[in-house]
Chains A and B, each alone.
Chain A
Amino acid sequence: MFRMKTPLLISIVFAGFSLHAAACMARDHIDIVGSSTVYPFATVVAEQFGKATRYKTPKVEATGTGGGFKLFCGGIGVKYPDISNASRRIKKSEYLMCRSHGVDEIVEVKIGYDGIVLANSRKTGPLALSRRDIFLALAKSVPASDDSEKLVPNPYRTWKDVNPALPSFRIEVLGPPPTSGTRDAFLELAMEGGGRTFKWIDALKKKDKQKFKSICHTIREDGAYIEAGENDNLIVQKLEANPHAVGIFGFSFLDQNADKIQGAVIDGVEPTFDAIAEGEYPVSRPLYFYVKKVHVGVIPGIDAYLSEFTREKAWGEDGYLSDRGLIPMPEDERRKFRDDALKLRILDLDQLGH
């Protein structure tokens, strides 16, 4: 009897204790998930917020944009995150997923811009690329060289094959994996931009969107594009070791490592802070975060966090986020989004494009 009962008793007591613990776990810190591109900025704000206010420091997890929305849209309550960072706008499908789980009041806050740079080691000369070059170098199938509107498997081995003005290095690009928001933005801005320089591909965009996407969004798989994981520091190290390789990452990594790597000039524009801020640099994208309105006031400090993030001292032109490589929005846009954030204006489905 003794032998049988004791372990049973222990496990019942333990289970009882743990369920009890689970039942009375209210959360007193803000829970943030989402994009690893926004992570460096959100963490700086979170730390500043935790030190300067009486609230606890928010917990920030880098789950990737898509993974973040999955958690964020899971439902309402302390189990689910309050804020989701995104390196692209929320998709309609994600918005609807949120709604189907009872999360129908979301506040959208745009925080600034990020440039996607193609960089190589300073040991070799800087590259001057056009988006067409990028498309031709990285797409899985490219238009045949005889203007026949046919696709052929990408035949180009070196940059010189793509464009005679470029150096004769083998094409070797280290870039983010498909789960990354940086990759999504790169496909949309650089690859689509490059594909659309061909008239017939541009025409496809209206006629056959599926085909257009499959042409522009399919990256070659023959070893010229190397998926380098989400760790951008590692890419920087690999670029240093291999001066002929090119890396794709966010502007902040170029900004921090400008003594080791240099950004390629794209369509004649150098990736500098000012060029991205003024919208001249073609491969730049807005960054966002999304807030669950019903959590405001339940989880302590969300409104204060919004106020901290949207302060001029944080996201303004001379703010501490710009020191970290975030490209600020123009002043009127900043004013509008701060106003929206503080008043918790809800995002409508019709505001989302496609």
Chain B
Amino acid sequence: MSNHRPKSGKKIGSMEIVSRGLDRRYGAERRFRFMGVAALVTSIVFLSLLFINIIGTGYSAFQQTFVKLDVNFDPHMVSAEDPASANYPGLIKKAMRSLFPEVKKRRDKRKLYSLVSTGASFQLQKIVESDPTVIGTRQSVWVPADDEVDMLMKGHVDRNVPETERRLKDVQIQWIDRLIEQGRLKKSFNTIFFTSGDSRNPELAGILGAVVGSFYTLLVTLALSFPAGVATAVYLEEFAPKNRWTDIIEVNINNLAAVPSIVFGLLGLAVFINFFGFPRSSPLVGGLVLSLMTLPTIIIASRASLQSVPPSIRDAALALGASRVQMVVHHVLPLALPGMLTGTIIGMARALGETAPLLMIGMVAFIVDIPSNIIDPASVLPVQIYLWSDSPERGFLERMSAAIMVLLVFLMVMNLVAVILRKRFERRW
């Protein structure tokens, strides 16, 4: 078109044609940019709403209410020879009664005792076991308060609703107010949350069991899927002949990456538990299932990073007399490794957040003891979040949000490591 100049007198210069359309073209660009920015802003708004919601409900879980009790380690009730058999709940009850001597009726006493967590007596047991010299003395001990008290202190319970609709009764709230006046109630950092396993009492529940379970599971996943994934990628990329069979394998690897994760759970149940007889709920089986799931991701990422190594490197190595294994191991692999690691870390991050396949193999369970090896029963972080979200006690809501925060921190760290690795070792040709 442009080389057909109009012959009439009223010539329209090409500049004019351009400038006529200019408004429209600028307009199109502005609209396009605006849509881009709008999409970005929308996603940021949603993301920040999510974060605000989670952090808003979860931050208070990092604090926990404690009660100061003056416990008299009565030698008649606790013996140094056998500290395990002592009546620790009795000690707690005695200490509570001494704070409120006017409480006489049995029902009221029960209400009084329920202000302190059931975990308090186990804490006293630990104190005695670690230091038997406390027997016969009077000690001030900060013990965790019951989750209802904790909720009240954090303002999650409305004092103004009628008494019948609250779990804490008026008389209990009066006692709590008196404890506050005496300085016997305080909120401090919730170490329990980071140092203990799951519990049915919100004030005693922690995520350590789930974190350790996640660690073992990912360890198994990494140990299996990284070597297998890299070896598969290297073989397919560098050694395998290009024929129908390798094409079929390639298509199937891509298919495998798109299979819903629950299917791998069913497979794990059928093969690893029912056929091999591995223990249910163990990180071993969890890791095996998750490595099936991450394997295709790692293979695909590794192949992509092998493909990005220029052929000239291979040719140079071969021309200098290197064997193909030497060429791959000495030259291609080191150059492709950062990309492979990035792919692996992203695959691992996905595995860390996975619950569906673990449901089938029994990792969605109430497990208190912290696993000490890969065949102990264990749950993982996302499962812990799911279990807490399903618990009736109000205190689990904030713990659930706090656990989500911990999971997000782990995911961010993993993704950050992936980015740093890429930035530091990536080479462009």
Contacts and interface: CB of A to CB of B under 8 A. Distances in A.
- Are A and B genuine complex partners? yes
Given A57-B368, A259-B165, A233 B390 contact: yes
Contacts of B169: none
A191 B201 CA distance: 35
15 contacts: A3-B325, A18-B278, A19-B276, A22-B277, A22-B278, A36-B390, A46-B368, A57-B369, A59-B367, A61-B362, A233-B390, A253-B392, A258-B166, A259-B158, A320-B118
A213 interface: no
Contacts of B278: 18, 22, 25
Interface stretch (A37-45, A90-98, A286-294): A37-45
A43 B200 CA distance: 7
Interface in A9-59: 18-19, 21-22, 25, 27, 29, 31, 36, 39-40, 42-44, 46-48, 50-51, 56-57, 59
A323 interface: yes
Contact of A233 (B110, B167, B284, B392): B392
B199 interface: yes
A40 B365 contact: no
Contact of A56 (B122, B281, B369): B369
A342 B294 CA distance: 48
A56 B376 CA distance: 11
B51 interface: no
Contacts of A324: 200
A257 B366 contact: no
A50 B390 contact: no
A59 B118 contact: no
B273 to A, nearest CB: 8
Contacts of B164: 258
Contact of B364 (A18, A22, A62): A62
B271 to A, nearest CB: 12
Given A21-B375, A46-B366, A256 B279 contact: no
A320 B165 CA distance: 20
A323 B368 contact: no
A7 interface: yes
Interface in B115-131: 118, 122
Q: What class of interface size applies to chain A in its complex with B?
A: 35 or more
A25 B279 contact: yes
A232 B366 contact: no
Contact of A60 (B118, B158, B201, B366): B366
A39 B118 contact: no
Contact of A59 (B158, B231, B281): B281
Contacts of A36: 390
A318 interface: yes
Interface string B122-157: 100000000000000000000000000000000001
Nearest to B224: A14
A214 interface: no
Interface string B371-409: 000010100000000000111111001000000000000
A7 B166 contact: no
A47 B368 contact: yes
Contacts of A56: 369
Contacts of A22: 276-279
B57 interface: no
Contacts of B303: none
Given A27-B279, A61-B366, 15 more contacts: A18-B284, A21-B284, A29-B377, A43-B200, A56-B369, A61-B364, A78-B279, A79-B280, A231-B389, A234-B389, A256-B393, A257-B392, A258-B166, A259-B158, A259-B166
B18 interface: no
Interface string A318-347: 101001110000000000000000000000
B114 interface: yes
Contacts of B114: 323
Interface in A193-248: 230-234
A278 to B, nearest CB: 19
A99 interface: no
A25 B366 CA distance: 21
Given A46-B368, A47-B200, A252-B392, A258 B281 contact: no
B392 A256 contact: yes
B15 interface: no
Interface in A109-136: 122
Contacts of A43: 200, 366
B161 A232 contact: no
Contacts of B166: 258-259
Interface string A174-205: 00000000000000000000000000000000
Contacts of A7: 231
- In the A-B complex, the 6 residue pairs with the smallest Cβ-Cβ separation, listed nearest first, are A57-B368, A60-B366, A61-B365, A256-B392, A43-B366, A259-B165
A36 B114 CA distance: 26
A28 to B, nearest CB: 10
A47 B199 CA distance: 7
B113 to A, nearest CB: 11
A230 B280 contact: no
Contacts of B392: 40, 232-233, 252-253, 255-257, 325
Contacts of A3: 325
A51 B121 CA distance: 10
B390 A57 contact: no
Given A25-B375, A232-B390, A320-B118, A50 B161 contact: no
B366 A31 contact: no
Contacts of B375: 21, 25
A50 B364 contact: no
B390 A258 contact: no
Contacts of B279: 22, 25, 27, 78
Nearest to B396: A233
Given A25-B279, A233-B392, A256 B167 contact: yes
B30 to A, nearest CB: 40
